[in-house]
Amino acid sequence: MAGYALRVVIFLRLIFGYNFTIVEEQFFVGQKSVRKSAIEAARAGGVVLMKYFGTGVKVHRKGAINLVTEADLRSEKRVTDILRNYYPEHQILSEETTYPSSASPYKWIIDPLDGTTNYAHNYPCFSVSIGFEKAGKLELGVVYNPILDELFVAERHNGATLNGRRIHVSAAARLADSFLATGFPYDIRTNPNNNLDHFVNLALRARAVRRNGSAAIDLCYVAAGRFDGFWELRLSPWDMAAGALILQEAGGKITDFQGNPLNIYQEQVVASNRKIHNTLLNVLQLGRQRRIRSG
């Protein structure tokens, strides 16, 4: 749509000498641009994360290998303070804190530090992820990687950008030529459905597989053509919300393991450049079939 509008403006300028300004379409609630609000909040959260990164910030355990740091909590407070100031009536779903319920159709879905284990070990791969829903439909996604100062943004039907430049998924058409990413659940030691079977099956068929430790970044990297595909089990809505919309707006496809449209309130995700999606799904079924036979 934006490309068509640009061509129309150029035509009118050439033929009639009209001088138009192209205004990027944005989603507004009241007089405030939701996009600008989310970007402000994501960048502010990133500032907090960079302030504490590498300083030996205090780490707490939520499980055997599931961590939370003081930086998670401080980033969340900064992000939510900004959004609640602009939109006090909106719902907020965040990883670290439970907020009062609201009847508003608008919901912010926030991960103030996606990649906590990386962060706790001074491994520079983490992000702030902010998704925005209206009546259960994703309208906006913002993912900010403060280490690289990379800001991924998408609005429904308006494309996806990285630092203001349009991005698009890759053109890889064969799994054998594909660069994939995945992650593993926190109960990998105790749950047999721990993704190791899928990892082996795809590592033997793809060009390479990486494990970044930030699902939001992985989804954005598929959107930007850096990865060709990504899959993971037992994610939470805040892991997927922003990245899912960014991927879709960049031309990608995202489903569950059965190929159904993604529901971020379920736990499975398969994301790709579309061209390898069916092949990815077929290989993922191999692990599931093996577990059924062995069970």
Going from the C-alpha of 92 to that of each of 62, 131, 246, the distances in angstroms are 21, 10, 20
Q: Give the Cα separation of 7 and 19 in Å (integer).
A: 13
**Radius of gyration of the chain from its Cα atoms, rounded to whole angstroms:** 20
Question: Residue 241 corresponds to which amino acid?
Answer: A
The whole model's pTM is what?
Answer: 0.86
Instruction: State whether the Cα torsion 98-44-23-148 is positive or negative.
Output: negative
Nearest to 52 by CA among 97, 117, 119: 119
Q: What SS3 class is residue 165? A: strand
| Helix then strand then coil, % of the chain, to nearest 5 | 35, 25, 40
Q: What is the pLDDT of residue 149?
A: 99
Q: Using alpha carbons only, give the angle 206, 237, 158 rounded to the nearest 5 degrees.
A: 80
Predicted confidence pLDDT, tens digits, the chain (295 residues):
444 444 443 443 444 443 433 334 455 665 469 999 999 999 999 999 999 999 988 788 765 545 678 999 999 999 999 999 999 999 999 987 888 888 999 999 999 999 999 999 999 999 999 999 999 999 999 999 999 999 999 999 999 999 999 999 999 999 999 999 999 876 667 777 788 999 999 999 999 999 999 999 999 999 999 999 999 998 999 999 999 999 999 999 999 999 999 999 998 999 999 999 999 999 999 975 554 444 4
Nearest to 134 by CA among 162, 157, 152, 111: 157
Question: Residue 60 corresponds to which amino acid?
Answer: H
Q: Where are the alpha helices (DSSP H) in 136-261?
A: 196-203, 215-223, 237-249
Going from the C-alpha of 173 to that of each of 97, 98, 232, 261, the distances in angstroms are 42, 43, 21, 21
Q: Give the Cα separation of 287 and 233 in Å (integer).
A: 13
- The domains found in the chain, sorted by start residue, are 28-166 (3.30.540.10), 175-294 (3.40.190.80)
Q: Give the Cα separation of 186 and 65 in Å (integer).
A: 6
Give the count of alpha carbons within 13 A of 288, CB side only: 10
Q: Which residues, 6 or more positions from 143, have their beta carbon under 8 angstroms from its beta carbon?
A: 42, 114, 127, 128, 129, 130, 151, 152, 216, 217, 219, 220, 242, 243, 246
For residue 271, report the phi and psi dihedrals to the nearest 5 degrees.
Answer: -125, 145
Q: Give the Cα separation of 95 and 22 in Å (integer).
A: 38
Q: What is the DSSP letter of 55?
A: T
Nearest to 222 by CA among 263, 254, 198: 254
